Amino acid sequence: MSPYVLDCIHPFARGPLPAKTGKTLLFAQQAGRIEPRTASGKATAWQSEGPPQFLLDVRDLRVTSSGGYPLVDGVSFTLNRGETLGIVGESGCGKSLTSLALMGLLPPGMSVSGQVEFEGADLLKLAPATVRDLRGDRLAMIFQDPMTSLNPTLTVGYQIAEGLIRHRGCDRREARDRSIELLRKVKLPAAERRFDEYPHQLSGGMRQRVMIAMALICQPALLIADEPTTALDVTVQAQILDLLAELKDDLGSAMIFISHDLGVVAENVDRVAVLYAGRLVEEGPTRSLFEQPQHPYTIGLMGSIPRIDTTSEWLPAIAGTLPLASDPPPGCRFEPRCPFAGDKCREESPDLAEVSAGHRAACWKAPL
Amino acid sequence: MTGPVLRAVDLAKHYPVGSRWFGRSQTLLRAVDGVSFEVAKGETLSLVGESGCGKSTTGRMLVQLIDPSSGHVEFEGRQYGAGSRRKALRISRRIQFVFQDPYASLNPRMTAGEAIGEPLSLHNMVPRRQRWTRVAELLEMVGLPRSFAARYPHELSGGQRQRVGIARALALEPSFIVCDEAVSALDVSVQAQVLNLLKTLKMRLGLSLLFIAHDLAVVKHISDRIAVMYLGRLVEVAEASEPFANPRHPYTRALLGAIPQPVFGRVRAATVGGDVPSPIDPPSGCRFHTRCPMKTDICARIDPAMETIAPGHVVGCHRWRDVEPMPEAGRAADDVHSARIQRLLGFFQDKAGSAAGQQELRS
Ligand SMILES: Nc1ncnc2c1ncn2[C@@H]1O[C@H](COP(=O)(O)OP(=O)(O)OP(=O)(O)O)[C@@H](O)[C@H]1O
Ligand SMILES: Nc1ncnc2c1ncn2[C@@H]1O[C@H](COP(=O)(O)OP(=O)(O)O)[C@@H](O)[C@H]1O
Ligand code: SF4
Ligand code: SF4
Ligand SMILES: [Mg+2]
Ligand SMILES: [Mg+2]
- pLDDT digits 0-9 by tens, A275-323: 999 999 999 999 999 999 999 999 999 999 998 887 777 888 999 889 9
Q: Which residues, 6 or more positions from A200, have their beta carbon under 8 angstroms from its beta carbon? A: A152
End-to-end CA distance of chain A: 56
Distance from CA of B29 to the nearest CA of A (A): 17
pLDDT band at B294 (very low <50, low <70, confident <90, very high): very high
Q: Which pLDDT tens digit goes with each residue over A219-242?
A: 999 999 999 998 888 998 999 999
Q: Which pLDDT tens digit goes with each residue over A171-215?
A: 999 999 999 999 999 989 889 999 999 999 888 889 999 999 999
Is the confidence at residue A37, as pLDDT, over 70? no
Chain B residue with CA closest to A293: the answer is B341
Q: Which residues pair with A79 in a beta bridge?
A: A56
Which one, of B92, B88, B99, lies nearest residue B59 by Cα?
Answer: B99
A205 Cβ closer than 6 Å to some ligand 3 atom: no
Is the confidence at residue B330, as pLDDT, over 90? no
| CA torsion, ordered A268, A222, A185, A205, to nearest 10 deg | 60
Is the confidence at residue B207, as pLDDT, over 70? yes
Rounded to an integer, the average pLDDT of B158-169 is 91
- Chain A residues lying within 8 Å of B354, measured CB to CB: 314, 317
For residue B50, how far is the Cα from the chain centroid?
12
Which one, of B362, B177, B337, lies nearest residue A304 by Cα?
Answer: B337
Is the confidence at residue A6, as pLDDT, over 80? no
Contact A317 B259 (CB under 8 A): no
Q: Are B274 and B291 in contact (CB under 8 A)?
A: yes
For residue B320, what is the DSSP state? G
3-state secondary structure of B81: strand
pLDDT band at A154 (very low <50, low <70, confident <90, very high): very high
Distance from CA of B35 to the nearest CA of A (A): 22
Distance from CA of B181 to the nearest CA of A (A): 11
For residue A174, what is the DSSP state? H
Ligand number nearest CA of A27 is 1
pLDDT on residue B328: 66
pLDDT on residue A31: 36
pLDDT band at B109 (very low <50, low <70, confident <90, very high): very high
Contact B258 A237 (CB under 8 A): yes
Which one, of A299, A203, A251, lies nearest residue B345 by Cα?
Answer: A299
**If you compute the radius of gyration of chain B from its CA atoms, what whole number of angstroms results?**
22
pLDDT on residue A205: 87
Q: B270-309: b or e for each residue (b if 16 or more CB lie within 10 Å)? A: ebbbebbbebeebbebbbbbbbbebbeeebeeebbeeeeb
- Alpha carbons B270 and B292: distance in angstroms, whole number: 11
Give the Å distance between the CA of B56 and the centre of ligand 6.
4
What one-letter code names the amino acid at B331? R
Q: Which residues, 6 or more positions from B228, have their beta carbon under 8 angstroms from its beta carbon? A: B48, B49, B216, B234, B235, B236, B237, B243, B249, B251, B252, B255
Helices and strands, counts by H and E, chain A: 14, 12
Give the Å distance between the CA of B52 and the centre of ligand 2.
6
pLDDT on residue B23: 54
- Chain B residues lying within 8 Å of A231, measured CB to CB: none
Could you tell me the strand order of the sheet in which A121-122 lies?
A: A70-79, A56-64, A111-118, A121-122
Contact A92 B157 (CB under 8 A): yes
pLDDT on residue B86: 59
Strand A359-361 relative to strand A279-285, pairing = antiparallel
0.80 cut: is pTM over it?
Answer: yes
Identify the sign of the CA torsion B58, B60, B62, B64: negative
> For A187-196, A320-329, B190-199, B321-330, which range has the lowest pLDDT when averaged over its residues?
B321-330
Rounded to an integer, the average pLDDT of A120-137 is 93
Instruction: Return phi, psi of residue B357, to 5°.
Output: -60, -40
Instruction: Return phi, psi of residue B29, to 5°.
Output: -95, 115
Rounded to an integer, the average pLDDT of B275-302 is 94
What secondary structure does DSSP assign to A252-304, as a single string? --EEEEEES-HHHHHTT-SEEEEEETTEEEEEEEHHHHHHS--SHHHHHHHHH
Instruction: Return phi, psi of residue A359, to 5°.
Output: -120, 120
Q: Which pLDDT tens digit goes with each residue over B213-244?
A: 999 999 998 999 999 999 999 999 999 999 99
| CA torsion, ordered A172, A173, A175, A180, to nearest 10 deg | 130
- Which residue, judged by its Cα, is nearest atom 14 of ligand 1? A94
Give the Å distance between the CA of A10 and the centre of ligand 6.
29
Q: What are the residues whose beta carbon lies below 5 Å from ligand 6 (ion)?
A: B 56
pLDDT on residue A198: 94
- Alpha carbons A197 and A215: distance in angstroms, whole number: 18
Ligand 2 atom nearest the C-alpha of B17 is 4
Question: Which candidate from B193, B241, B274 shows the least CB-CB separation from A311?
Answer: B241
Rounded to an integer, the average pLDDT of A231-254 is 87
What secondary structure does DSSP assign to B171-214, as a single string? TT--SEEEEESTTTTS-HHHHHHHHHHHHHHHHHHT-EEEEEES
Question: Which candidate from A189, A308, A319 shows the least CB-CB separation from B256?
Answer: A308
pLDDT on residue A23: 34
What is the average pLDDT score of chain A?
84
Distance from CA of A75 to the nearest CA of B (A): 22
Could you tell me the strand order of the sheet in which A279-285 lies?
A: A139-142, A222-226, A254-259, A84-88, A271-276, A279-285, A359-361, A353-356
- Alpha carbons A193 and A183: distance in angstroms, whole number: 11
Question: Which candidate from B103, B261, B346 shows the least CB-CB separation from A308?
Answer: B261
Ligand number nearest CA of A339 is 3
> For A28-42, A147-161, B81-95, which range has the lowest pLDDT when averaged over its residues?
A28-42
- Alpha carbons A127 and A134: distance in angstroms, whole number: 11
Q: Are A358 and A285 in contact (CB under 8 A)?
A: yes
Give the Å distance between the CA of B257 and the centre of ligand 6.
21
Rounded to an integer, the average pLDDT of B274-289 is 92
- Alpha carbons B77 and A62: distance in angstroms, whole number: 62
Interface test mutation site (partner B, options A240, A276, A298, A304, max chain B beta carbons within 10 A): A304
Contact A303 B265 (CB under 8 A): no
pLDDT band at A22 (very low <50, low <70, confident <90, very high): very low
pLDDT on residue B336: 55
Q: Which residues line ligand 1 (CB under 6 A)?
A: A 21, 23-24, 27, 65, 71, 89, 91-97, 107, 325
3-state secondary structure of A213: helix
Q: What percent of chain A has pLDDT over 90?
A: 67
Is the confidence at residue A21, as pLDDT, over 50? no
Q: Which residues pair with B315 in a beta bridge?
A: B236, B307
Cβ atoms within 10 A of the Cβ of B37, count?
A: 19
- The better pLDDT of the pair B80, B355 is held by B80
Burial class (CB in 10 A: 0-12, 13-18, 19+), B326: buried
All domains in chain A, ordered by first residue: 3-138+220-357 (3.40.50.300), 150-217 (no CATH)
A59 Cβ closer than 6 Å to some ligand 3 atom: no
- Residue A329 CB-half CA count within 13 A: 23
Q: Which residues line ligand 2 (CB under 6 A)?
A: B 15, 29, 31, 51-57, 279
Is the confidence at residue B88, as pLDDT, over 50? no
- Chain A residues lying within 8 Å of B193, measured CB to CB: 317-319
Cβ atoms within 10 A of the Cβ of A287, count?
A: 15
The ipTM (two decimal places) reads 0.88
Distance from CA of B92 to the nearest CA of A (A): 30
pLDDT on residue B70: 95
Rounded to an integer, the average pLDDT of B105-118 is 93
3-state secondary structure of A138: coil
Chain A residue with CA closest to B241: the answer is A311
The DSSP element (H or E) to which A332 belongs, if any, is: none
pLDDT band at B339 (very low <50, low <70, confident <90, very high): confident
Which one, of B357, B353, B363, lies nearest residue B183 by Cα?
Answer: B353
Give the Å distance between the CA of A278 and the centre of ligand 1.
10
Ligand number nearest CA of B286 is 4
A335 Cβ closer than 6 Å to some ligand 3 atom: yes
pLDDT on residue A149: 80
Burial class (CB in 10 A: 0-12, 13-18, 19+), A361: buried
Counting one residue from chain A and one from chain B, the pairs whose CB atoms sit within 8 A come to 205
Helices and strands, counts by H and E, chain B: 12, 12
- Alpha carbons A90 and A84: distance in angstroms, whole number: 20
For residue A168, what is the DSSP state? H
pLDDT on residue B177: 96
Q: Which pLDDT tens digit goes with each residue over B29-80?
A: 999 999 999 999 999 999 999 998 999 999 999 998 899 999 999 998 888 9
**If you compute the radius of gyration of chain A from its CA atoms, what whole number of angstroms results?**
20
